Amino acid sequence: MTSSAPRGLWITFEGGDGAGKTTQSTLLEEWLQSQGRTVLRTREPGGTEVGNLIRDIVLHHRGDVAPRAEALLYAADRAHHIETLVRPALSRGEVVIQDRYLDSSVAYQGAGRVLDPNEVRNLSLWAADDALPDVTVLLDLDPVRARERLDADDKPFDRLEAEKLDFHTRVRTAFLALAEAEPERFLVLDATLPASELTAAVRDRVSTLIGDVRAPH
């Protein structure tokens, strides 16, 4: 029997803004390519033409979007993205490195305290026909540190900023709870570690998975 092409591998990165997802995704992509793998880099919201239109609404629309509408927009982006881009790449044997997935919906839309996190998760699972990544790397960072990284000056928080901080603290707590609920899928890393240590930890986990997916099945 001839050896078959490697099965696809799906890796998502999660975490708050400023946690270093882009740097780590790029380093992982370069490493995988050096191993001879074909890599698809993608993101949510966005990733497809339709997705970019939705991204524009959810990230740039001025004024309120009702929470359920917002959750549905992220889910619609996800449904199209998974069906038209991610699944086909995985079935071609490629590695998909994706910035954010349904865990972001649970953490962010759930953190507004209006929507039930379980309902948000179930909506996304329906949208994506139950697709879940092989591994989800959570770059965990205290929102105060994240803010310091994004904005070097340390004026005291005004009320709005304090509210934002409270929101981002709930997002962080939600991500950590998701990771605790699915320890097999998640790799939780302290984003304050040096980039090289984070890279090594991610490679370690991915190497194990590459080993697994290449095994005869």
Alpha carbon of 6 to those of 45, 92, 118, 140: distances in Å? 28, 9, 34, 31
Between residues 100 and 147, which has the closer beta carbon with respect to ligand TYD?
A: 100
Shortest distance (Å) from residue 154 CB to ligand TYD: 21
Q: Which residue type does 193 have?
A: L
Stretch that binds ligand TYD, among 4-12, 98-106, 126-134, 182-190 (CB under 6 A): 98-106
Shortest distance (Å) from residue 22 CB to ligand TYD: 7
Give me the 109-128 binding string for ligand TYD, x by CB under 6 A, dash otherwise.
Answer: x-------------------
Q: Are 6 and 37 in contact (CB under 8 A)?
A: yes
Q: Which residue is nearest to ligand TYD (CB)?
A: 108
Shortest distance (Å) from residue 176 CB to ligand TYD: 16
Q: Does 51 bind ligand TYD (CB under 6 A)?
A: no
Give me the 11-50 binding string for ligand TYD, x by CB under 6 A, dash otherwise.
Answer: ------x-------------------------xxx-----
Q: Please count the residues of this chain forming the interface with ligand TYD, following the rule CB under 6 A.
A: 12
Q: Does 105 bind ligand TYD (CB under 6 A)?
A: yes
**Interface contacts to ligand TYD, rule CB under 6 A:** 17, 43-45, 59, 74, 99-100, 104-105, 108-109
